[in-house]
Amino acid sequence: MTVSIDDDGLDENDPRRVEVRQWLSSNPNPTPVQLAQAGLVAPHLPKPWGLGADANHQLLIDDELKRADVRLPSTPSASGGPDRRSSTPAPRSSSSAGYPSC
């Protein structure tokens, strides 16, 4: 799904857009960790994990990242979450649905 930013309230001088643009100019080749620490991997989440960004703010961030040709990481581990790429499955409980038996 593609969403374009044509809304009058999301202009080039929006302070949120300018802030992202300045960060990207200071970090021209950001690592996944830098993007996560800046709150750009999941901007909708509250701080410190994201920016608490509303939908318009998220569109501005996405637009600026595209303009800077910066791709967001596709793995949860880049944002500090658990690394789910392990080939070893987690141990399973012998009870149903992980609840202790009665």
**7-60 pLDDT, tens per residue?**
555 688 999 999 999 999 999 999 999 999 999 999 999 998 999 999 999 999
Q: What is the distance between the alpha carbons of residues 49 and 34, in angstroms, rounded to a whole number?
A: 12
Extract the tokens encoding 35.
Answer: 């993007």
Give residue 74's pLDDT.
82
For the full predicted model, state whether its pTM sits above 0.75.
Answer: no
Which pLDDT band, with edges at 50, 70 and 90, does 92 fall under? low
Count CB neighbours of 58 within 10 A. 17
Q: Quick check: 99 pLDDT over 80?
A: no
